[in-house]
Structure 1
Amino acid sequence: MIVAFDGVQLLDVTGPVEVFTTANHYGADYDVRVVSLAGDTVTTSSGLVIGADGTPDAVPPRLGTLLVPGKRDWRSAVADTDLIGQVTRLSTRAQRVASVCAGAFVLAEAGILDGRRAATHWELASQLATAYPRVRVDGNPVFVRDGHVATSAGITAGIDLSLSLVEEDWGADVARNVARQLVVFMARPGGQAQFSARLAPRQPRHPAVRRVMDRVTADPAGCHTLATLAASGGVSVRHLERLFRTEVGLTPGRYVESVRVEAAQALLADGTGTVEEVAQQAGFGSSESLRRVFQHTLGVSPTVYRARFRSTLGAPHLTAG
């Protein structure tokens, strides 16, 4: 059962619905219902109006899966006491509870995520952690399972999570057939880091930190040892490290690596240089170093990243045959 409400992300609802109903064509037996608190239509985030199969009271007393989608304005969702109360009550009737994207905030407000590891959209992970400190937020996985509770990352990650649930219920062959039919990954390679805007550090107040950050971003491939960075900031190495941890939340070295990763991402997506050339231009020195850092931080290789995110302009149009 999926609980819909005004402002809900359209794909948070329709993605899982498509997975579960498609699974029924391959031997599954899901009774998929979308409900709303009043049992009437809801207006989604895109302005499209979708219908409901009734109120939560119209569904069986025992539920297989309760799925809660998200809403961009999660604060208004968690402030809706009727919604939170209904989700709380329904969760006690469900064998498992799941959320998509910002739906994790609704589960957190209902206390369902207390003490549990949880995922949400990479852009919202820090907000979830701040608003609900009892939740162990992980901003990288596409989805997370903790006991009978599952949470997923942004929007289309609801499809990944739903495929996982289908596999759990009906086996890998059914889930694989659904993935093929919908032309999606059975298991998406890598985590959310490959999609996120990784460099969103807090604006530093200390002028030394600002000078160092400006130096690095202006020339990612430059010589950025701790000594040279400290000299450019006019402080000692030890003081620079303390300032970075306090104001940026990273060590200077990790900050340099982050800038270089983003530079490499841009070069891979927009340019035509080889991986070796990208590694040199971004400051990694060698393609092997670039591959190692990409695999560690993004979960994919530079070649796979380029294939996934490069511009489609001018790319050949493939036809099935």
Structure 2
Amino acid sequence: METVHTILETRKIIKAWKKDGLTVGLVPTMGFLHEGHESLVKKAAAENDKVVVSIFVNPIQFGPNEDLEAYPRDLDKDKLVCEKANADLIFNPSPEEMYFDNAVTSVAVKELTEGLCGSKRPVHFQGVCTVVSKLFNIVTPDRAYFGEKDAQQLAVIKRMVQDLNFDIDIVGCPIVREEDGLAKSSRNTYLSRDERKAAVILNESLNLAKEALKSGEQYASKLTGIISKKISSEPLAKIDYIEIVDSLELKPVCKISSSILVAIAIYIGNTRLIDNFTWDIK
């Protein structure tokens, strides 16, 4: 496994792979890799001849008051995770390598980014789409792998690929959870011991909503009420949003008649965590 830091080096390696007729999978990450990322890399390794993991804390997807400087970084640990999961190449550029000082071009996906996290983080998805489109152009993968924990991001990337005719298959991979149900996240490291215990309220509240759906509940307002009541029982938790939207267009629904995404964002202390599940009408 190699680690490179420039676009030129990356393109040179991938050009040689393509010349040999090898398929390439890309796993875009911001580093500080955990078992969730590892599962993406393993999936990519199982489905492609070569795997590239990009490790880049993308500055343009962070708002002015967000945690860019505090975002955890540990490249040495990330290398071990990638090697264990059978990655072939780590692309670890600097911001100066990825962005020109006088750049005036960005990529924005409208409508799908207006709700959920997009309504709370107005610059986020434009930054995500811009960096991912650049990675697609640099790596030219056959497939790219994203976690379903960031469900809105996955839907937005799929739409961007469709609308801009990228010849890339986007593969969504299941959420990886801790033993107590908390979704794996790099931001979990921000939690104190008490906050970590409190954070299980996210998955517990979603499980109550699943049980209600299994029992035949059809109204989104009832489900959001169930989730809200459970989360409000935890003193360290503060609701950012609870949304029930259709799975494709991410538009709010009132009565459930097709596939839905139940998505939440909760502050545990000062740490914002997200979680979700998709429910398909049988």
TM-score normalised by structure 2 residue count: 0.29
Structure 1 or 2: more strand by fraction: 2
Structure 1 or 2: more helix by fraction: 1
TM-score normalised by structure 1 residue count: 0.27
Structure ranking higher on relative contact order (CA contacts 8 Å, 6+ apart): 2
